[in-house]
Amino acid sequence: MTPLVQAEQAVLGAVFLAPGQLDQLSPWLRPEHFSRPAHTAIYAAMLKLRSDDHPASKAQDAGSVPMSWMTDTVAEASKHTRGLTASYAHSLVAACPRPEHAAIYGRMVLEGAIHRSVAQHATRLHQAASADAIRGGAEETVHHAHALSDVLADLARRWGGEPRPVAPPASVPLPPAHQQPVDEQLLADEEFLLGCLSARPQKLDEIVGWLYPGDFADAGHQQIYRSLGALHHRGEPIDQLTVLWETQRRGALADRTLDAGRVLRICDPSVFAGSAEYVGEQVVRASLVRTAAASARQVRALADDESLAPGQLIGYALHALGPLEEVRRRWRIATGTQAEPRRAADQTAAAPPAARSEAARSRSRTHLSNTAPAAASPAASRPAVLDRPHRRSAS
């Protein structure tokens, strides 16, 4: 018998011995917090008899409770579950070490319910993400992600705290990263999107606010997108060779994440024509589903760790959902359900575009005190773009 079942028996036995304990238990301990159906039915029956002003419901001390309290409770609970007998009620009484400790036993039951509820909702989120990955949707994933967040917030308040994300210490084991199989169509969509952006770099202005490098399932595609964003931010020309050079500078060729032939093939502007925004939405949608599955695995592992106190579990679980909430926010922007926030570059528009481009490029030059500033190149007339992909690549 697990400690949780023993705690459930103890709190029910305490209420049989002192029904007045329900005054302090009923505001926060609910029937659904019990793991066994029989215990759920018994506690629900106790609450019903109390609300019906049963004569014994005000008794505070063991020994002064009429036998009708036990027999009526068993009779009421038997309407909702089978197999309950008076002998089992007597065994619950015998399982209670100290009736006056009912509130402590109740918090043990609530603690077990918190772990169980978090685990159940994390499992549902993972199942929804797995299903959406197959059918190419995101609605079920978003629904269950929202449900898990709401459950964590409600459980935090029931436990007596505030729902705040807390990073778990290194001593708390988390499941290893699980490499999910990636659909071939998604990889083709990512290549198509990168080709569109290479052919029409101005499209980066429309998607950098909600499409990040980490949204790409393929590591090589992430590096190409970072390179495109960096070149566009600096106002430099974009073509097959400049993208290849930028990926080399970022080490993607040296570590064999990419090879030159693959970069040139993906960035060939002659074979791509289509809507970058639409394909970008599909990439973010797939990223949302993958992130949800990873977050769900982490939350489930935390819920299965019985050594974590409820406050720790809730805080760590909210932290694990942080990356998912970030992708959800960008998904809403991409699909038009949430306005995109103003970016820093929009608020500093007083600086001439050419000056901003020149300033961005000058950071990579060696400055000589006796050398006059070089004249701005024709590419400097291209307006600068906030380099969200480049900045996030450092995180």
pLDDT tens readout for residues 319-333: 999 999 999 999 999
pLDDT digits (tens, 9 = 90+) for 124-154: 999 999 999 988 889 999 999 999 999 999 9
Q: Which range is least confidently modeled, 33-37, 160-164, 348-352, 368-372? A: 348-352
Share of the chain above pLDDT 70, in %: 82
Select, from the ranges 176-180, 239-243, 268-272, the one with the highest average predicted confidence (pLDDT). 239-243
Dist CA 73 CA 77 (whole Å): 6
Q: Specify the pLDDT at position 13.
A: 96
* 300/388: higher pLDDT: 300
pLDDT over 60 at 182, yes or no:
yes
Computed over every residue of the chain, the mean pLDDT equals 84
Long-range pairs for 9-12: beta carbons < 8 A, 24 or more residues apart: 9/39, 9/91, 9/92, 9/95, 9/96, 10/95, 10/96, 10/97, 10/101, 10/102, 10/105, 11/96, 11/102, 11/105, 11/106, 11/108, 11/109, 12/39, 12/42, 12/43, 12/46, 12/92, 12/96
3-class SS string, 223-255? HHHHHHHHHHHHCCCCCHHHHHHHHHHCCCCCC
Dist CA 106 CA 201 (whole Å): 61
SS3 state of residue 330: helix
| SS percent in the chain: helix, strand, coil, step 5 | 65, 0, 35
Q: Specify the pLDDT at position 59.
A: 66
Q: Which range is least confidently modeled, 33-47, 69-83, 288-302, 338-352? A: 338-352
Q: Which helix (H) or strand (E) holds 186?
A: helix 184-199
Select, from the ranges 262-271, 288-297, 343-352, the one with the highest average predicted confidence (pLDDT). 288-297
pLDDT digits (tens, 9 = 90+) for 242-286: 999 999 999 999 999 999 999 999 998 776 666 788 999 999 999
pLDDT over 80 at 186, yes or no:
yes
3-class SS string, 154-179? HHHHHHCCCCCCCCCCCCCCCCCCCC
Please state which CATH number belongs to domain 3-97.
1.10.860.10
Select, from the ranges 247-261, 338-352, 359-373, the one with the highest average predicted confidence (pLDDT). 247-261
Average pLDDT over residues 295-304: 96
99 C-beta neighbours (distance < 10 Å), count: 21
SS3 state of residue 143: helix
Domain segments of the chain: what residues? 3-97, 112-169+287-334
Q: For 26, phi and psi rounded to 5 degrees?
A: -60, -30
pLDDT over 80 at 312, yes or no:
yes
Dist CA 213 CA 226 (whole Å): 6
Q: Specify the pLDDT at position 299.
A: 97
Confidence of residue 77 (pLDDT cuts 50, 70, 90): very high
